[in-house]
Amino acid sequence: MKMSKTIFVSVIVLLAVTIVAIAVVFNTMKPIVNMISEKDLEEYTGRYLNEYKILFETYGPDLGNLSEFDFYLGYPYRVEGVVSKVHGAAIFFYSSSEEEIDVETIEERIEFYLWPEMKGWWDNSDTFMVLQEHETVTFDASVWPEPIKINPGGHFEIYGTLIYENRMILKGSNQKEKWLPEIALIEATNQFLWIAREKALDEAEIRKIEGYSLLRAKAEEIERKMETGEYGDNWRMKLKDEDEFWQIAEEWDIKAQAARQIREDVLGPYLEQPAFDPFQEWGMPIILGLIAAAIYSIIEWRFKLLRKRLQRLYRRGRTEKKVKRAKKRRKSGRK
């Protein structure tokens, strides 16, 4: 009897744990970031070009000699974009009479698009170099006037970002999160400051430009997540991003009024934190608890019925034995 009850209780616990595990997985599981589409790369490119132009036209008058801003002087651009289904993506800039963005998708690694000959010795190379995921290398066009070359036997594997000034941006990732419009905003700012740091802008002004760029990018990230429904009903995630927005403003010494204006320009009037919703906070645990309790009650009820039935059978069996023994005694007495 005790063993049967232990088994039933174990089954209940196992069911409850399974239900909780499934709920946790579905509640915390984030959508898998998909490979960047050709349209995504077009949007990144368009945003990059537009942001660089705005920066130059805003701060250019304070820079004095503008001849070193070759990228701006090359506007408009014809841009060729390449998305690899296997590894990486890139965009290539060519000065043109009008802006045009064309994107294609290839089957092989992005490295083979640049250096097709490298495919021949990829698995049997003499030298090996890797650009790590969080590394960015920028080649100065004035120092490296010729395209980057790979000598025979060389193996160049790219996971980070490789920039050939004014000509190419290549990343080892083909995931959308690395090519978002707000990322284009930040990267255009970095390329603009690559030259502006050496000009008339002082460090305070440089810091201001960097801070405003990061702040706008964060506001646009929040806007994107709202539009795509990524937040859902998870107001805590949105509140976390809002907090990060104000932390950036504080870290980069951007006044609250200016930060608030940036935020409202992108997101509209500030919304207060939603009221605490006890069901949203505790609803899932309560529901799981009720389900587990219901299952336990049903099994316990069935167990009690079974126990009563066994007890009745046991008592009936003892009664029958007593009757048989009594009959035997009576028979023995007659003899």
Report which of residues 203 and 75 the model is more confident about.
Answer: 75
| Beta strands 100-106; 77-84: pairing state | parallel
Give the 3-state secondary structure of residue 102: strand
Q: Identify the band that residue 261 occupies on the pLDDT scale cut at 50, 70 and 90.
A: very high
Strand partners, 90: 82, 170
Residue 71: which of 189, 240, 183 has the closest Cα?
Answer: 189
Report helix angle 256-267 to 235-251, nearest 10: 140
pLDDT digits (tens, 9 = 90+) for 147-175: 788 999 999 999 999 999 999 999 999 99
pLDDT band of 205, cuts 50, 70, 90: confident
Q: Please determine, for residue 282, whether its predicted confidence score (pLDDT) is greater than 50.
A: yes
Q: What angle do CA 205, 208, 212 make, to 5 degrees?
A: 145
Of 161, 276, 257, 173, which is closest to residue 215 (Cα–Cα)?
257
The three-class DSSP label of residue 139 is strand
Would the CA dihedral through 89, 94, 99, 102 be positive or negative?
negative
pLDDT at position 24: 46
How far apart (Å, rounded) are the C-alpha atoms in residues 327 and 331?
A: 6
pLDDT score for 311: 66
pLDDT digits (tens, 9 = 90+) for 6-24: 555 555 555 555 555 555 4
Pairing mode of beta strands 154-158, 127-131: parallel
Query: Of 185, 243, 232, whose CA–CA distance to 209 is shortest?
Result: 185
The answer to whether 35 and 179 are in contact (CB under 8 A) is: no
Contact 146, 164 (CB under 8 A): no
Is pTM beyond 0.75 here?
Answer: no
pLDDT at residue 295 greater than cutoff 90? no
The predicted structure's pLDDT at residue 27? 46
| C-alpha atoms less than 13 angstroms from C-alpha of 144 in its C-beta half-sphere | 13
pLDDT digits (tens, 9 = 90+) for 222-241: 999 999 999 988 889 999 99
Distances in whole angstroms, Cα of residue 268 to Cα of each of 90, 210, 261, 265: 34, 22, 9, 6
Statement: residue 332 has pLDDT above 90: no
**In 107-186, where do the E strands start and end?**
127-131, 136-139, 154-158, 161-164, 168-171
Task: Compute the distance between CA of residue 89 and CA of residue 207 in angstroms, rounded to an integer.
Answer: 30
